[in-house]
Amino acid sequence: MIQLEVRDHTLVVTLDRPAVRNAWNPEVAQGLHDAWRRLEADPELWCCVVTGNGGFFSSGMDLKHPPMDLGTLAMPNLSVPCDKPIICAVEGGAIGYAAVFCLLADMVVSGESAYFLYPEAKLGLFQGMMGGFPGRLQYKAGLQWLMTGEPMVAHRAREIGLVNEVVEDGEATARALHLAELINRNAPLVVQAMKAFALSTVPKGPMEANYRTNRLLARIASSDDGKEGIASFREKRPAKFSGR
């Protein structure tokens, strides 16, 4: 589902479900979340490149086996705060969840025939994660892209700020790895401070801004202590909390 490889100081994350164009199921989402935890925790990892197997980045959510709540855990720079650069190498396409993924990543390198598609307006669905796009894309161009639900080609994505570089098809991963190598030649603590400062100034959409607060409250609501508190109140006895 997810392949991990370490090249010098770079963690290479490969989405590996080519038969379904690397669609996200629960295993993919959990694998991405685990990759962020590894990236943040390992002092020898200074950069990350994310790519897709089979010539396609990702078709987004697997409608037969959706990741459900794990989907947000898989997004970069969200569930696991990380000051290390995360670079997407996009070939083929990035659809739905994968388009949000590229938006929240730090850099994107794209093959010239790749495209980006966010189809929720056509599906009558909206989960809100793309709502914070004005902090990262041109407002009018981004709104047109989202409201029409039409695919956006790589060169247009570069014009409005979603993509850093457009390269020949098949070269996106190699170029992303080269960018990671160039970054890794520099002082890691300085690079991480640059990302931390820059990311702190990016305006956050409602879902992104409230994500950690909502996660904390949901954890409390589903905790053993929450159940114990209600039970002790009903039984008119002192609560015995466990911190779980």
Q: What is the pLDDT along the chain (244 residues), one digit of tens a residue?
A: 899 999 999 999 999 999 999 999 999 999 999 999 999 999 999 999 999 999 999 999 998 999 887 888 999 999 899 999 999 999 999 999 999 999 999 999 999 999 999 998 888 878 778 888 999 999 999 999 999 999 999 999 999 999 999 999 999 999 999 999 999 999 999 999 999 999 999 988 777 777 666 666 666 767 887 777 777 767 778 877 788 7
Residue 158 φ/ψ, nearest 5 degrees: -70, -40
Secondary structure class of 24 (helix, strand, coil): strand
Q: Are strands 2-7 and 10-15 parallel, antiparallel or unpaired?
A: antiparallel
Per the CB < 8 A criterion, the answer to whether 162 and 144 are in contact is no
Half-sphere exposure for 200 (CA within 13 Å, toward CB)? 7
Domains present along the chain, CATH in parentheses: 2-187 (3.90.226.10), 205-244 (no CATH)
Token pair of 219, please?
Answer: 């954890």
Q: Which residue has the tokens 């590996």?
A: 16
